[in-house]
Structure 1
C-alpha cells in the first residue's frame, strides 16, 4: 500500500516540482552570495588602498556632486552658470585668438599655390598678431618653465635633419632604411644611458604616449601571464597625469597614493596596502613634474619584485639630466634598470635631450615584455598590419632630428648641460621649496598665512616668467633650462618682488588664483574647472 501511494504520479510530480524549486532557490542564493562577496571584496580593496578617511571623503564627494547636480539643474542656477561660462569663454578667446581689423585669417585653400617668400611673410605676420609674450620660432622670448632650447647651433642641426628626411615615414622601413636605422640607434643609446643595453624599447611622440604604451603593455602582459581581466595600478599622487589618462583610456582602476609632506616621496606602506591580486603595476617618478622630487625607486622595486608586478619609472622630465648627475658632480639616488624590479622607463628626448618636439623613448627590461606593446592584425583586408605604438604613419624627420641632436650633444655635452642647469636649480633652492629636488625642477610654496602663492604666480606672469601652478598643496614650479642659467639672479629678484607685491596689494583675480580657487571652492569645483578647460581646448581649434 505505502509503495503504491509513494509511486503514484501525483506524488512524483509534487516531488519533482519541490526538487526543481529547491535547485532554483539554491542557485539564486549562490548567485546573491557571489554577487555580494565580489562587491564586498572590491570595497575592501578600495578601502585598504585609500584608507578609511579617504574612502569616507570619496563617498562624501560622490554624494555632494550628485546633490549639487540636482541644484544646478534648476532653471535659475542653470541660467546663472551659463552666463558665467559664456564670460569665461569670451575671456579665453580674447587671450588665445587674435582680434582686430589687421588680422589675416586663412580659412580655405588658396586658388593657386603660394611662394616660399609669401609663406614666410604670412608666418611673420601671425607671430606679430599674437600677444606680446608669445614664444615664436625666432627672436627673443621669455623663459618658459616647459621650454627647452638647445641654442642656435642645435637649431641649424635640426633644420638640416628635417630638410633631408621631411617626407620619410617609419611605417615603411624598406623605403626609408636610414630612418629605421636611426630609430633603432636612438633607442639603443637611451638603453645604455639607463644601464640596460640588452633591453628593448621604441620611440614615441612624447612622454604621454610613452606612459600610455607602458601601461598598455603591462595590462596586456598581466592578462596573458596572470589572467587579470580587471586590472588596477598604484600611482603616486605626484605622478604625471598621463597615468590617469591611461587608466581612463584602457579601463584600468587607478589608486592614487599620497606623498610625504616633507620628502614628497610616495608612501611605500600605502603602496603596499594598495597592491592586490588585480594589480598590474606600480609607478615611481625620477623626477616628478610637480616638484622635481624623486620617489624611492629601490623600495618600489622591492614591492614590484615581491608581488610579481611591473614597475614603471617615469624619467620623462629627468630624461637627459638624471643619467648624468653624478658625472656632473651632484648626488644621485638609484633610479634606472640597475634597480631590481624596474620593468619600464620613459625618457623624453625632446626636453633636456634638445631633440625636436614630439619625440620620446619607452624602454623595457626585455624584448619579451615589449611584445605586449605591439598591435598586430594578420587578417585585415588591406594586408597584414602591424605597428609598434599608437601611431601608424609617423614623421621620420622627428627621428632624424632626435638622432642628430644626440650625436651633436654627445656625452660630454649632456654632462656640461646637466652641470649648468642643475647648478641654476640649486641656486633657486635657497628659497622655500617643496621636498628635496634631485635635478632641474624646483617647486616652492608659502608658509605665510597672508601670502597666496598662486597670487605670486600671477605677478610673475606679468614679469614674463611662465611658471606652472601646483595644487595639493598650492605652489609654483620652474623647470630650469639653458635659458635660465644666465637669468637665475634675475629670477630670484623678480620672485622676491612678486612676493612683496602679492603681500602688499593682492588682487585675487589672476588666472592662477581664479582657476585653482574655483577648483577648491566646492565638491562641484573640479567639474567647473573641467568645463573651463574644455572651453580652452575648443578655442585651440577656432580659426
Structure 2
C-alpha cells in the first residue's frame, strides 16, 4: 500500500471503510462478548456527537480549553462520589485501564522513594488473576511483581499474600472484580495487610467501578471494595466499559491529593517552556473527555440503574441456562456481569470448549477463550438482554454437536489449546511474540 497520488472521493472512502469492516465482530448486534459494551443506540449517538464536537481539542494544556477542564473535573467528582471518596480525594482521567494501572504503579514507586527510602528494589503483590496490564506497568516502571496464588474460588489466597509481603513491598493490589471469572478479591483483607505494613493498596476496578455502585443501589450484595474500606489508597475504573463512554476513557482516583502528586511528571527546565503532565499521554484527546461527561449526564442515575438491571437480568438467565447444559458449569461465584463457562468434571463425556467456541463462531457468537482452567468468557452487556435465551439455545446445540460428532480442535483452536497446556511458558511467550509480529502480514479476508 502506498498513499494514493490523488485523494479518494469521500463517498468512495466511506464505501471502502464499510467493506473493510465486513468481517468485524458484530458489536451492534450484541454477538460480541468482549471489547465493546453494547447498549442503546441513542447512548452511542450522544457519545459520538460529544466526541465529534471536541474532536480537535487537546487536554494537554487545560488552560487553553477550560471546557475540557470542567468536563474532566465534573466526571471525577461523580466518580469520587460513586466510589465513596473521602474529603480531599482526587483523581485524573486517563486513556483507559492500562494507563490508569500504569500510573497507579508509578505512584506507588515514587511514593516509596520519598516515604520508604530504604527500598531499592520495590515490589508489588498481585494475584495471578490480576490484569496483565499491571505486569506491563511493573515492567515499565521497574517494580518487581510478586504473584499471589488464588484459592479454589479464584480469589487471592490471603495466607499466601501474608507470607509474600516483605520490607520491599510498596503496593498491594486486588481486583474488584477480576476479569477472568468475575469474582471479587478479598479487598478488605488485602487493604488491612497493606495498612499494617504502612504501604499502599490499589483496587483495580476497571471493569466494575461504574457497575458495582449501581448494583449495590439495586439492593444486590456487593463485597466492600471502594474508599469505604480503610487502607484502600487508589482505585481505577474505566468509563469506556460500563459507564458506556467512548474509547478511551478511564479514571484513576486517589484517597488524597498528596498521593496524586506522585502520579504527575514535571520538568521545569525545558527550553520549550515549563512542562507538567498528569498522565502518561501528552496530547489527551478532548473528544473522549467530552463524551464521558455527556453520556454520564445523559443517562443519570436512573439510566445507569436501568442498564445495570438489564445487564444483570441477562447475566442471570445466561448463567442459569449454562448450568442446565450437561457437562458445563459457571466457575467461581461471579458478583456482576462477567461469567466464565467451564467444564463440569463430573460429566462422563466432557467436551472441548475450544471446539464449542468454534461452533458458536459459526453461529455468529464471538466468545473469548481462557486457560488454567480452560473456560469461555462472557462479558454481558445490557444489549444481551434480548438475546439471552438465543445464546443459551445455541450453546446447548453447540455442546451437543461437538459431543456427538467427536469433532476435534483444528487450526487456531488446536494451537490455542496446545499452548495453554504446555509447561514451557517461555516457549509460549515466544510463540505469542511470533504471532504478534506476524499480524501485519496476515490475510485481511476482505469481502468484495
TM-score of the aligned structures, taking structure 2 as reference length:
0.91
Q: 2:239 aligns with which of 349, 355, 374?
A: 349
Q: Name the structure 1 match of 2:431.
A: 529
Does the Cα contact within 8 Å between 1:214 and 1:312 map onto a contact in 2? Answer: yes
Residues matched between the structures, number: 431
**2:59 is aligned with 1:170:** yes
Residue 234, structure 1, aligned to residue 136, structure 2: no
Q: Name the residue aligned to 1:267.
A: 157
Partner of 1:159: 48
Q: Which residue of 2 aligns with 1:517?
A: 418
Query: Which of 394, 398, 402 is the equivalent residue of 2:284?
Result: 394
Deviation at 1:372, TM superposition (A): 0.4
**Deviation at residue 140 of structure 1 after TM alignment:** 4.7
Report the 3-state secondary structure (helix = DSSP H, G, I; strand = E; otherwise coil) of the residue aligned with 1:445. Answer: strand
Residues 535 and 252 (structure 1 numbering): CA distance in 2 closer, same or farther, change over 3 Å? same
Per the alignment, residue 124 of structure 1 pairs with 15
Q: Is contact 1:519–1:529 with CA below 8 Å preserved after alignment?
A: no
CA RMSD of aligned residues (A): 2.1
**Cα distance, 1:110–1:174 mapped onto 2, change above 3 Å:** farther
What whole-Å deviation, never above 9, does each CA across 1:484-539 have from its counterpart, x for those lacking one? 11100111111111111222232211533322312423415413432343235445
Report the alpha carbon displacement of residue 182 of structure 1 after superposing the two structures with TM. Answer: 0.6
Q: Does 1:485 align with 2:376?
A: no
Residue by residue, what CA displacement relative to the aligned partner does 1:30-49 show, whole Å, maximum 9, x if unpaired?
Answer: xxxxxxxxxxxxxxxxxxxx
Q: List runs of 5+ in structure 2 lacking aligned partners.
A: 324-328
Distance 1:266 1:539 in 2: 40
Please give the alpha-carbon distance, in whole angstroms, between the structure 1 residues aligned to 2:442 and 2:98: 19
- Shift in Å, 1:333: 0.9
* Secondary structure of the structure 2 residue equivalent to 1:518: helix
Question: Is the 8 Å Cα contact of residues 177 and 208 (structure 2) preserved in structure 1?
Answer: yes
User: In the alignment, which residue of structure 1 is the partner of 2:82?
Assistant: 193
In the alignment, the residues of structure 2 paired with residue 142 and residue 133 of structure 1 have an alpha-carbon distance, to the nearest angstrom, of 11
Which residue of the partner structure matches residue 210 of structure 1? Answer: 100
Determine if contact 1:231/1:252 at 8 Å carries over to the other structure: yes
1:6 counterpart residue number: none
Structure 1: gaps spanning 5 or more residues: 1-104
1:130 positional shift: 4.3
Give the structure 2 partner of residue 53 of structure 1.
none
1:220 alignment counterpart? 110
Residue of structure 2 equivalent to 1:475: 375
1:436 and 2:333 are equivalent in the alignment? yes
Displacement after TM superposition at 1:260 (Å): 1.1
In structure 2, relative to structure 1, the CA distance for the partners of 1:130 and 1:407 (3 Å cut) is closer
Looking at CA atoms only, which structure, 1 or 2, has the larger radius of gyration? 1
1:196 is paired with a residue whose SS is coil
Deviation for aligned residue 1:141? 6.2
1:424 counterpart residue number:
314
C-alpha deviation, 1:213, in angstroms: 0.5
d(CA) in 1 for partners of 2:57, 2:443: 27
In 2: Cα distance, 1:537 partner to 1:215 partner:
30
Work out whether 1:290 is the aligned partner of 2:190.
no
Q: Deviations over 1:40-64 (max 9, x none)?
A: xxxxxxxxxxxxxxxxxxxxxxxxx
Paired position in structure 1 for 2:326: none
Q: Is residue 369–residue 377 contact of structure 2 (8 Å, CA) maintained in 1?
A: yes
Q: 1:326 aligns with which of 209, 216, 227?
A: 216
Deviation at 1:282, TM superposition (A): 1.0
Distance 2:367 2:29 in 1: 18
Q: Which moved more, 1:364-373 or 1:519-528?
A: 519-528
> Are the counterparts in 1 of residues 56 and 285 from structure 2 also a CA contact under 8 Å?
yes
Within 1, Cα distance between the matches of 2:358 and 2:209? 29
